[in-house]
Chain A
């Protein structure tokens, strides 16, 4: 075997063990009853787990909630991340320090700041309620209203991950030759036109990468939800990852937990494929328009 392949093997073996083995194992486990009822000994049960998944209202509700969370997070993070990237791209005083400070929320452990947000959103003593109070408004249960609590989980997620998106997009901005922007400026294009005609099209691959990456991470949201709301109130913020975790660690039903995780994986694949498909179609359309 060539030495260059040998050098690759240890790393590939570990990556395979960590990523592939679990998926194979879940495939097998999802066809077993393996719960407290069987003493956690796997017993084949046909497709019972999968039938249960299809009829499990909590799974589908959590799927809808997770999609809702991911959709709003992704949209806000891309918008705000783009704004941050455009800001950081300009000549700034103390640029290194500014970047470090803007980056800080991304670097902190999620659980640490989830705890912080619990206090910020506290009813009635948190600072956000302090703002409401000084405006003469009554205190609001940011984390106790089933209809709106998910919005505040999005807020905490956007706060934490926008710096990451901003940096990815900043890399894209820095790859755009300054002469192109100058040429457009000389043509008399305003800042908004330059953004639309030059910056956004050239940034598209970076936006796509950031969107795919954040979509996958947001669909798997776990740390933030578990610490900030525990999935409540009334399961209104429960994510699929949290549901899978509860099935495994609280209900001790490994067979069904594996099924939930595979269901989640299928959803993730379908959505990623959809994003790539839409992107491909858009490019095709733009090319067609460019040719005509």
Chain B
């Protein structure tokens, strides 16, 4: 650590403890993924010197379907869900902000309740709908429930961002003769970019991680999303579990998110905290 110590000392130890708590289980997965099955059950001193291998990664990447397929499915679905959510949430947030205070308050409260709702409860009725409409095993059809589930939080976050803009801004643009679409596109949205980015990353994370609905809508193995594929590996056997390959899969499945969190840490934090302050 080349950085100078912080002005007030005494919290290096708690900081290390917090980082250890968050990271040790992940580091353990990384170490496990690099060892042979025999090495994983070795004990005693010196056990750490033997049995290092990349075979687990080879096995996971050459599986049928190969692992990158799940990453691709989850990425496509995440992108589609995020786009659909923003498309509906931005106009809705603007519309909500322009309602009378009483209606706005009531709708916001309902949206907050929906955002908190444990959505796993909804899976059965949504599955019935998917069957009735022939949407089973259609990867991108999942974007519709995902957008519906993400909209409450997205609308609340963006509504708060609209509320932060000075009202004179839109009045001035109206006097200039800009219509609603032009005002949104050229005046308001450019100022909302940070809030839109925060919302987008939260929706993407939700969609990437969603489990019960993807589990019940998709059965074809080449269409599985990452969380369902992982659970399916886990369900294969309780005893002779190939933990090295598992760990390699958790590492490969976790790396894109590590990248996302490192890149968009600021947006994620501001999205979550804005939600807390103004939601």
Contacts and interface: CB of A to CB of B under 8 A. Distances in A.
Nearest to B97: A4
Interface in B103-143: 107, 111, 114, 116-129
Given A102-B19, A109-B211, A216 B92 contact: no
Interface in B79-93: 88-89, 91-92
Interface residues on A, range: 35 or more
Residue among B22, B145, B147, B272 with max Cβ neighbours from chain A (10 Å):
B22
Contact of B234 (A108, A115, A219): A115
A19 B122 contact: yes
Contact of A4 (B25, B98, B144): B98
B174 to A, nearest CB: 13
User: For this complex, into which size category does the number of interface residues on chain B fall?
Assistant: 35 or more
Contacts of A21: 125, 129
B216 interface: yes
Contacts of A112: 226-227, 230, 249-250, 253-254
A109 B227 contact: yes
A5 B121 CA distance: 29
B193 interface: no
A18 B148 CA distance: 6
A219 B276 contact: no
Contacts of B41: 125
A113 interface: yes
A69 B271 CA distance: 28
Interface string B220-246: 000000111011011100100101001
A268 B122 CA distance: 14
B59 interface: no
Contacts of B119: 19, 220
A111 interface: yes
Contacts of A258: 124-125
B152 to A, nearest CB: 6
Nearest to B184: A7
B142 to A, nearest CB: 12
B25 A116 contact: yes
Nearest to A226: B231
Contacts of B208: 109
Interface string B61-99: 000000000000000000000000000110110111011
B265 A110 contact: no
Interface in B186-214: 205, 208-209, 211-212
B124 A11 contact: no
B265 to A, nearest CB: 4
B8 interface: yes
Given A115-B234, A216-B116, A15 B277 contact: no
B252 to A, nearest CB: 10
Nearest to A93: B3
Interface in B1-39: 1, 3-8, 11, 14-15, 18-19, 21-23, 25-26, 28-29, 32
A181 interface: no
A169 B136 CA distance: 40
Nearest to B262: A100
A170 interface: yes
B178 interface: no
B102 to A, nearest CB: 14
Given A116-B25, A119-B247, A241 B121 contact: yes
A107 B257 contact: yes
B173 interface: no
Nearest to A216: B116
A110 B152 contact: no
B258 interface: yes
Given A115-B246, A115-B250, A245-B212, 16 more contacts: A4-B98, A8-B92, A12-B92, A18-B145, A22-B121, A90-B6, A102-B19, A109-B257, A110-B211, A110-B227, A111-B234, A115-B231, A120-B25, A168-B273, A223-B120, A245-B120
Which 9 A/B pairs are nearest by Cβ-Cβ distance? A220-B118, A18-B148, A22-B125, A171-B273, A7-B95, A11-B92, A8-B95, A100-B265, A7-B91
Interface of B: 1, 3-8, 11, 14-15, 18-19, 21-23, 25-26, 28-29, 32, 40-41, 43, 88-89, 91-92, 94-96, 98-99, 107, 111, 114, 116-129, 144-145, 147-149, 151-152, 155, 180, 205, 208-209, 211-212, 216, 226-228, 230-231, 233-235, 238, 241, 243, 246-247, 249-250, 253-254, 257-258, 260-262, 265-266, 268-269, 272-274, 276-277, 279
30 contacts: A3-B180, A4-B95, A8-B107, A15-B114, A15-B152, A92-B6, A92-B15, A99-B265, A103-B265, A104-B23, A104-B258, A105-B25, A107-B261, A108-B209, A109-B226, A109-B227, A110-B211, A111-B234, A116-B28, A118-B234, A133-B43, A163-B22, A171-B277, A213-B116, A216-B116, A216-B118, A241-B121, A245-B123, A254-B124, A268-B118
